[in-house]
């Protein structure tokens, strides 16, 4: 007969206790009434004493499977009771007790700092727990128990863990890195993040964590392969996207790395072309003789072990997995149904909606944001950029500018750096902003800082919030269940987890807004109920058996060109091509990998031999670049040998436009853009048969590499559009072309109105981010590599560098290679400014006066870089 402990008996299915769930549902109901200000609706009966007793019991759960769930519920009960009656001493005591029991000491310091247990053994246990959870690199702070369990496993060779978004997964990494550096002072660390926006955030956090330790231990934070620090003797902390890290590994294949942290590792499961880079970088590093510790961190998924499949070299006992559901903050979920005009609270335990009240049919999203969000920090999510801007403008319209000097200065900087018509400048002064990935980094970072500070209270944003940018929101309004396509449960939970931050509160509010013609209540309810299923690798989900066989047959025939299937999205098509590139390189270079293993059924020895014979003798040796396929580059060396070169740069930093456009047309033919970039670089107008978009990109590219500020680029585009339309009006027969702008999803004839100018600005910033800095940059990188291989010792104008840094000025490039943004470099090298000097021994240096300038964006950059590269600053004696 199996023995059952008293604890097991008490906690078995306690979360299903009928009385507990009735009390809990009443608590959620009453909290909802308070939140929405529904004074006319009668509150439900609430037995506070019994709820507190349940919370106490749940907080001590020892249930083998559901202890974390029980502790979350306990924490939520006392937090909401405290919100309903913050002056009740009994509730305050239980709040401290429960937070102590669940070892949420950070929450206790915020909400129950004066708590002291009346029992001696509990006080002793608290002291023991605090000592155990004390952070070695920050002795005045404590881990959560779940964080500590993760932290203690970082010494394993391979680890994959998952946790709720609000647990602070990246914080644990940073504290581990800090401890290692303080203790040993050597070894290189690499953190891979999915976006450039996260590079800025993580870099700022590490700089804040380490401060002067960076200099004392000779460490440099490096975010790109062009950093000046890489030419010197240092230890490094690399913070990069997968694409940037791959380029670094190709350029510096022997760069030692002791730890690789892959943050937001669930991106490996997404059927997005960028997921292929994770397979490549992990495989390259895991195959080293001295492979780094490889650690994957994901939000919420039940099977983090799936990503350890990328490490085919792991031996017995070398790998560990952890999955925790504990969160230091709770998310309270409500549904605003603008179709039925009803408000609901959602009970996570019973998975049911409870109607709170009906509301006036004339009431809309922004009315709720104003009422609920007054004095709070709010984020409003939409998957549509135009809608984000519309919401932000409508919300800000009735507000008055705030007497806040920092907001006024940011608004003025936006007008100077982007355009005087730019909507963002006007609404910023009212404490309102929008946040999108294409915003210039200097502006985006300052918006985030002012939001964290509380100067900006309401922020409208797209999926940048999903990519890991951490902002301390009290309220999150979700107006769409889409993120491109329909949002899955992983992204949905990740998005909801962005509200509520332990530095400020124990909970955050999520409002799912079913807007009449865009979203529906049933879809939101389905997402709330849906469990996160075990994840699969994108390699498995993106490739059907037919596609695998087709790829192998194509390679066997000596070809690498894969034709796009009619039902394939551009992203999926690009992903499959990259997997094909990885497979070919692994076969030819006789390497085993997770990608090669996926094709094993179709790779008979004779087939592999035939592929090797077809490609090993090619004039293009197999390197590690997976961005381009062999068929895209096989003509490149021949053309370079025949005299193809980058366009010349003239006075003013520009090329001749016609020469540049003709060069891009040649690349279009060499790289097969009409096949592989048919919607962008290779787009042909059906009526004129011209590469119309390439003509436009050439115009933008020429201005970008000249170092022209964004504001002047916008102004030039406006002047050009007005001139084109003036000529058309004068003689529409001879001048048929009209200047168009993409406005609200449609192309319309451009007029110099605020609406059209703002649309033009958005389009231009997107072109710079996606076309210039991503697509063209990748192709120029390949061109530069092949040009060097043909012209071994010949110096040449490297347009890849010009594109990467947005300048042909060597001084501006040097400034950026030391970590400054393009905007800062433009400011520092402008006429009449002498922030950059040359020393007697010919070295460039930056005057210390830069640390005192009025421009807050650049001053902040300088303060951060002063820790990372102190040697580049000189000070007047």
Is residue 824 pLDDT above 50, yes or no?
yes
Provide the β-strand partners of residue 293: 259
Altogether, the residues listed in the chain come to a count of 877
pLDDT at 651: 86
DSSP 3-state assignment of 502? coil
Higher pLDDT, 794 or 638: 638
User: For 770-784, what is the mean pLDDT?
Assistant: 94
CA distances, 805 to each of 697, 706, 777 (Å): 17, 10, 10
CA 213/CA 96 separation, integer angstroms: 36
pLDDT at 854: 86
Provide the β-strand partners of residue 836: 846
CA 65/CA 72 separation, integer angstroms: 13
What are the tokens at 322? 């952890």
CA distances, 20 to each of 332, 428, 542, 722 (Å): 18, 46, 45, 68
pLDDT at 316: 64
Provide the β-strand partners of residue 343: 336, 357
Query: How do residues 409-443 score in pLDDT, each as one tens digit?
Result: 999 999 999 999 999 999 999 999 999 888 988 89
What are the tokens at 410? 């940011």
% pLDDT > 70, the chain:
97
Return phi, psi of residue 113, to 5°. -65, -25
**Of the ranges 281-285, 525-529, 789-793, which one carries the lowest mean pLDDT score?**
789-793
Provide the β-strand partners of residue 320: 159
pLDDT at 821: 93
What are the tokens at 298? 């994901």
pLDDT at 294: 97
User: For 716-740, what is the mean pLDDT?
Assistant: 93
- What is the set of domains in the chain, with CATH numbers? 6-135 (no CATH), 145-323 (3.40.50.300), 330-529 (3.40.50.300), 543-618 (no CATH), 657-805 (no CATH), 810-874 (no CATH)
Return phi, psi of residue 252, to 5°. -125, 70
pLDDT at 7: 62
Query: How do residues 667-684 score in pLDDT, each as one tens digit?
Result: 999 999 998 999 999 999
Is residue 307 pLDDT above 80, yes or no?
yes
What are the tokens at 848? 């210390």
**Of the ranges 122-126, 332-336, 404-408, 419-423, which one carries the lowest mean pLDDT score?**
122-126
| Residues 6 or more apart in contact with residue 41 via CB below 8 angstroms | 33, 356, 357
Is residue 1 pLDDT above 50, yes or no?
no
pLDDT at 216: 95
Dihedral over Cα of 814, 818, 820, 821: its sign = positive
% pLDDT > 90, the chain:
76
Return phi, psi of residue 845, to 5°. -140, 160
pLDDT at 620: 60
Alpha helices in 770-828 (DSSP H): 777-790, 799-805, 810-817, 822-828
Confidence of residue 479 (pLDDT cuts 50, 70, 90): very high
CB of 585 within 8 A of CB of 629?
no
**Of the ranges 35-49, 108-122, 528-542, 693-707, which one carries the lowest mean pLDDT score?**
108-122
Is residue 517 pLDDT above 80, yes or no?
no
User: For 861-873, what is the mean pLDDT?
Assistant: 94
The per-residue pLDDT of the chain, averaged, comes to 92
CA 828/CA 170 separation, integer angstroms: 33
Is residue 87 pLDDT above 80, yes or no?
yes
Element (H, E) at 667: helix 657-670
Find where tokens 């787009």 sit.
683
Return phi, psi of residue 330, to 5°. -105, 155
Confidence of residue 494 (pLDDT cuts 50, 70, 90): confident
End-to-end CA distance of the chain: 84
CB of 110 within 8 A of CB of 100?
no
Judged by phi (left if over 0) then psi (alpha if -120 to 50, else beta), residue 558 lies in left
CA 95/CA 607 separation, integer angstroms: 67
Label the pairing between strands 740-743 and 746-749: antiparallel
- The number of beta carbons lying within 10 Å of the beta carbon of residue 416 is 15
CA 798/CA 156 separation, integer angstroms: 42
Is residue 10 pLDDT above 80, yes or no?
no
pLDDT at 124: 87
User: For 290-295, what is the mean pLDDT?
Assistant: 95
- The number of beta carbons lying within 10 Å of the beta carbon of residue 442 is 25
Confidence of residue 13 (pLDDT cuts 50, 70, 90): confident
Query: How do residues 597-639 score in pLDDT, each as one tens digit?
Result: 999 999 999 999 999 998 886 566 678 899 888 888 878 988 9
Is residue 26 pLDDT above 80, yes or no?
yes
pLDDT at 529: 94
With vertex at residue 868, the alpha carbon angle to CA 140 and CA 448, rounded to the nearest 5 degrees, is: 70
pLDDT at 475: 96
CA distances, 702 to each of 177, 182, 667, 707, 765 (Å): 42, 46, 16, 9, 15
Helix pair 754-766, 710-730: axis angle to 10 deg: 120
Is residue 315 pLDDT above 70, yes or no?
no
Return phi, psi of residue 819, to 5°. 110, -5
């Amino acid at each position: 007969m199996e023995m059952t402990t008293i604890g097991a008996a008490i906690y078995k299915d306690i979360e299903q206790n009928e009385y507990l769930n009735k009390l809990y549902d009443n608590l959620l109901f009453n909290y909802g009434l308070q939140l929405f200000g529904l004074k006319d609706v009668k509150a439900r009966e609430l037995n506070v004493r019994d709820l507190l007793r349940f919370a106490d019991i749940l907080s001590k759960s020892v249930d083998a499977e559901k202890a974390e769930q029980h502790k979350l519920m306990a924490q939520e009960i006392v937090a909401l009771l405290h919100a309903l009656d913050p002056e009740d001493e009994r509730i305050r005591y239980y709040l401290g007790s429960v937070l102590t029991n669940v070892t949420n000491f950070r929450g206790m310091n915020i909400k129950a700092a004066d708590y002291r247990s009346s029992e001696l053994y509990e006080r002793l246990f608290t002291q023991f727990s605090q000592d155990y959870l004390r952070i070695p690199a920050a002795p005045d702070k404590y881990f959560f128990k779940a964080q500590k369990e993760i932290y203690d496993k970082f010494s394993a060779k391979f680890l994959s863990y998952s946790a709720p978004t609000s647990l602070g997964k990246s914080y644990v990494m940073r504290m581990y890195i800090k401890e290692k550096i303080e203790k040993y002072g050597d070894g290189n660390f690499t953190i891979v993040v999915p976006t450039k926006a996260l590079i800025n955030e993580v870099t700022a956090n590490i700089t804040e964590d380490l401060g002067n330790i960076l200099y004392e231990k000779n460490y440099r934070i490096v975010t790109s392969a062009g950093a000046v620090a890489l030419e010197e003797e240092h230890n490094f902390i690399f913070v990069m996207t997968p694409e940037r890290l791959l380029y670094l590994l190709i350029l510096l294949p022997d760069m030692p790395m002791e730890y690789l942290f892959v943050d937001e590792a669930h991106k490996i499961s997404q059927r997005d072309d960028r997921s292929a880079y994770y397979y490549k970088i992990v495989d390259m590093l895991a195959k080293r003789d001295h492979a780094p510790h490889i650690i994957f961190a994901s939000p919420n998924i039940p099977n983090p072990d799936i990503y350890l499949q990328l490490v085919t070299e792991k031996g017995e006992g070398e790998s560990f997995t952890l999955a925790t559901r504990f969160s230091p903050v709770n998310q309270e979920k409500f549904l605003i149904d603008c179709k039925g005009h009803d408000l609901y609270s959602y009970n996570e335990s019973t998975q049911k909606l409870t109607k709170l009240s009906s509301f006036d049919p004339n009431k809309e999203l922004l009315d709720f944001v104003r009422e609920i969000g007054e004095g709070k920090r709010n984020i409003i999510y939409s998957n549509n950029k135009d809608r984000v801007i519309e919401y932000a403008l409508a919300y800000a319209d009735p507000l008055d500018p705030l007497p806040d000097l920092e907001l006024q200065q940011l608004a003025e900087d936006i007008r100077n750096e982007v355009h005087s018509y730019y909507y963002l400048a006007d609404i910023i002064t009212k404490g309102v902003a929008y946040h999108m990935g294409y915003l210039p980094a200097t502006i985006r970072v300052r918006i985030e800082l002012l939001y964290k500070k509380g100067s900006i209270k309401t922020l409208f944003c797209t999926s940048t919030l999903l990519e890991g940018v951490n902002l301390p929101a009290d309220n999150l309004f979700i107006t769409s269940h889409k993120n491109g396509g329909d949002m899955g449960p992983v992204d949905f939970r990740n998005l909801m987890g962005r509200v509520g931050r332990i530095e400020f509160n124990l909970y955050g509010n999520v409002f799912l807004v079913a807007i009449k013609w865009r979203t529906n209540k049933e879809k939101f309810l389905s997402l709330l109920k849906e469990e996160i299923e075990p994840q699969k690798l994108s390699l498995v989900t993106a490739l059907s058996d037919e596609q695998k066989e087709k790829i192998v047959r194509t390679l066997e025939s000596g070809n690498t060109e894969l034709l796009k299937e009619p039902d394939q999205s551009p992203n999926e098509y690009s992903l499959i091509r990259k997997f094909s590139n990885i497979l070919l390189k692994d076969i030819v270079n006789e390497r085993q990998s997770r990608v090669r293993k996926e094709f094993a059924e179709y790779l008979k020895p004779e087939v592999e031999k035939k592929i090797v014979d077809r490609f090993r003798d090619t004039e293009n040796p197999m390197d590690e670049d997976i961005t381009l396929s062999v068929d895209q580059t096989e003509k490149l060396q021949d053309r370079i040998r025949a005299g193809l070169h980058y366009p010349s740069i003239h006075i003013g930093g520009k090329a001749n436009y016609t020469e540049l456009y003709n060069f891009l047309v040649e690349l279009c033919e060499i790289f097969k853009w009409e096949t592989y970039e048919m919607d962008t670089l290779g787009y042909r107008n059906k009526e004129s048969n011209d590469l119309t978009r390439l003509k436009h990109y050439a115009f933008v590219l020429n201005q970008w590499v000249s170092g022209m500020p964004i504001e002047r680029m916008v102004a030039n585009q406006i002047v050009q559009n007005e001139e084109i339309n003036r000529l058309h009006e004068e003689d529409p027969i001879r001048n048929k072309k009209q200047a168009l702008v993409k406005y609200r999803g449609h192309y319309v004839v451009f007029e110099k109105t605020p609406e059209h100018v703002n649309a033009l600005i958005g389009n231009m910033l997107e072109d710079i981010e996606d076309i210039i800095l991503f697509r063209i940059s990748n192709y120029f990188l390949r061109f530069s590599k092949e040009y060097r291989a043909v012209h071994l010792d010949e110096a040449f104008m490297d347009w890849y560098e010009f594109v990467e840094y947005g300048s042909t000025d060597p001084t501006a490039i040097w400034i950026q290679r030391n970590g400054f943004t393009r905007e800062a470099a433009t400011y520092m090298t402008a006429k009449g400014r002498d922030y950059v000097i040359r020393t007697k021994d010919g070295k460039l240096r930056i005057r210390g006066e830069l640390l005192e300038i009025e421009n807050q964006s650049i001053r902040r950059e300088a303060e951060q870089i002063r820790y990372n590269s102190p040697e580049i600053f000189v000070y007047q004696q």
